[in-house]
Chain A
Amino acid sequence: MNDQLKHLSERVTKGLMTRREFVGRAAALGVTAAVANSMLATAAKAAGPVRGGTIKLGASGGESTNTQDPALTASEVPLYNLRHWGETLVDVGADGNLEMRMAESVEGSSDAKQWVFKIRKGIPFSNGKDMTPEDVMLTMQRHSNEDSQSGALGIMRGIESMKVDGDNFIVDLSTGNADLPYLMADYHLMIQPGGGMDDPAAGIGTGPYTIEFDEPGVRHGFKRRDDYWDADNRGFAEFSEQLVLNDATARTAALQSGQVHMINRVDPKVASLLDRAPSLSVKSTAGRGHYVFIMHVDTAPFDSNELRLALKYAINRQEMVDKILRGYGSIGNDFPINAGYPLFDNTIEQRDYDAAKAAEHYKKSGHDGSPIILRTADGAFPGAVDAAALFQQSAQAAGIPLEIKREPNDGYWSEVWNVQPFCASYWGGRPVQDQMYSTAYLSTADWNDTRFKVPAFDDMLLQARAEIDEVKRKEIYSKMAVMLRDEGGLILPMFNDFVGAIAQNVGGWVDDPNGPLMNNKAPIKCWLTDA
Chain B
Amino acid sequence: MSSMTRFGNRLYTGETSINFIGRRVMWYILSGTIIVLSVALTTLRGGFTFGIEFRGGSEFQVSNPASVDTAIAEKTVLDGVGVTAAPKISIVGGSSVRVQTDQLTTEQTDALRAALATAYKVPVEKVTSSFIGASWGSDITGQALRALGIFLVLVSIVMALYFRTWKMSVAAIVAVVHDLVITAAVYGALGLEVTPAAVIGLLTILGYSLYDTVVVFDKIRENTSVAYDESKRTFADSVNLAVNQTLVRSINTSIVAALPVSSILFIGSMLLGAGTLRDIALSLFVGIICGAYSTIFIAAPLYAQLREGESELTKQGRKVRTEIVRNASGAVR
Note whether A and B form a binding pair.
Answer: no
